[in-house]
Amino acid sequence: MANEPRKQQSRGAKSARAPWREQAESYLNHHRKVARDSARRMWQSPVASMMTWAVMGVALALPVALMLLLASLEGVSAGWESSARVTAYLNDSVSIEEARELKAEVADDSRVADVELIDRETALEEFRASSGLEDALDYLNENPLPHTLLVTPSESSRTADGVEMLLTVIEGLDGVERVQVDLGWLQRLNAMTDLLGRAVWALALLLAAAVVLVIGNTVRLAIENRRDEILVAKLVGGTDAFVRRPFLYTGAWFGLGGGVVAWTLLQLSLWWLSGPVERLAGLYRSEFSLNGLTIDGALALIIVAMLLGWLGAWVAVKRHLDDIEPGEIAGG
């Protein structure tokens, strides 16, 4: 220690050195030391620590996995919404010439990207081919189907509101009998994802509470194991904050481990599922893909896990540490 030049200075002119700086320095040093010490203690009982991490990891991975799934589903419904097409059925009395005029009129609208006219004969052919009702259709004297306009909204109008507005405009045109947009199943999907979203949040809250309790219990045991040390620290004038600190760090480290385990579990299951999901999406000609956590997401997961660990430790410390008072040392 004598070879530290700084020490020689400070001994002579102790008051010259800003005391708050020295205080802050030793405060930070103590934090570093306690953080290191708590981590070292965790390594000393690796099996127990890893089990706690695993419990936390599973509890955290489950809601995060559901949230990822939900985000992917919302991506799908957004994709389909943009490709929504408006179908306008024209009056039976509208002739094919009038239908062509209507088509041109609709196409002029800036909100419309493309209009396709399906005349009644083509429609009947398609129907005959796809429905399997050929025989039944043969009994009909005349074609029951109207001319139809298939309207694709322009890029900017591909929102629920935009489509809705376009719908009213087309509905107001002369010769349009009925307008249909097949948003029903999309709305049902949205309603379902909304419901699922809430369920996931409720599950996440429950599991977060479970994590807090698990950490609380683990830290309670740690407190019991270090009872003597706590007593002596309180005896020689350790503040509550000083006594709590190692346990709060322990909780945060448990959180860190749990977060990393959760992330690993997520990456593994993603890797395991990605093949089948791609195949399934391919069968549905869907763009659907399972998205993993981004780097930001992984960081957020780990930070949340550490906060939960810290909170669990805090609950345990609050409940059990204050009970340990040195009064019992001195005996009767």
Partner 1 sequence: MIEFRQVTKRYDSDHTALRQVNFGLQRGELAFLTGHSGAGKSTLLKLIMVMERPSAGEVIVGGQVLNTLPRRQVPYIRRHIGVVFQNHQLLFDRTVFDNVAMPLEVMGTPARDIGRRVRAALDKVGLLSKEKMNPMQLSGGEQQRVGIARAVVNKPPVLLADEPTGNLDPELSADIMRLFADFSQVGVTVLIATHDIALINELGRRTLTLDHGRLVPGAGAAGGRHG
From edge to edge, which strands make up the β-sheet containing 148-153?
112-118, 148-153, 86-90, 176-181
- Return the SS3 of 147: coil
7 binds partner 1 (CB under 8 A): yes
CA distances from 8 to 11, 24, 291 (A): 6, 20, 59
Q: Which of 1, 16, 283, 295 binds partner 1 (CB under 8 A)?
A: 1
| 34 or 169: CB nearest partner 1 | 34
23 binds partner 1 (CB under 8 A): yes
| 158 or 245: CB nearest partner 1 | 245
Q: CA 244, CA 293: separation in Å to the nearest integer?
A: 34
Q: Which stretch binds partner 1 (CB under 8 A): 25-33, 54-62, 65-73, 107-115?
A: 25-33
Q: 320, 326 in Cβ contact below 8 A?
A: no
Q: Which of 12, 132, 184, 237 binds partner 1 (CB under 8 A)?
A: 237
With CA atoms as reference, report the closest residue to 166 among 238, 92, 86: 86
329 binds partner 1 (CB under 8 A): yes
Q: How many residues bind partner 1 (CB under 8 A)?
A: 30
Cα-based angle 327, 331, 332 (whole degrees, multiple of 5): 105
Number of H helices, E strands in the chain: 11, 4
| 18 or 129: CB nearest partner 1 | 18
Tokens of 109: 């609208």
Q: Which stretch binds partner 1 (CB under 8 A): 80-88, 131-139, 158-166, 324-332?
A: 324-332
**Which 177-236 positions form the footprint of partner 1 (CB under 8 A)?**
228-229, 231-236
Q: 94, 155 in Cβ contact below 8 A?
A: no
Q: CA 113, CA 83: separation in Å to the nearest integer?
A: 11
Supply the minimum distance, in Å, between the C-beta of residue 230 and partner 1.
10
Non-local (6+) Cβ contacts of 287 within 8 A are 75, 76, 79, 281
144 binds partner 1 (CB under 8 A): no
What secondary structure letter does DSSP report for 221?
Answer: H
318 binds partner 1 (CB under 8 A): no
Supply the minimum distance, in Å, between the C-beta of residue 50 and partner 1.
23
327 binds partner 1 (CB under 8 A): yes
Supply the minimum distance, in Å, between the C-beta of residue 10 and partner 1.
8
Supply the minimum distance, in Å, between the C-beta of residue 217 and partner 1.
22
| 242 or 272: CB nearest partner 1 | 242
286 binds partner 1 (CB under 8 A): no
> Which residues bind to partner 1, rule: CB under 8 A?
1, 4, 7, 22-23, 25-27, 29-30, 228-229, 231-240, 242, 325-327, 329-332
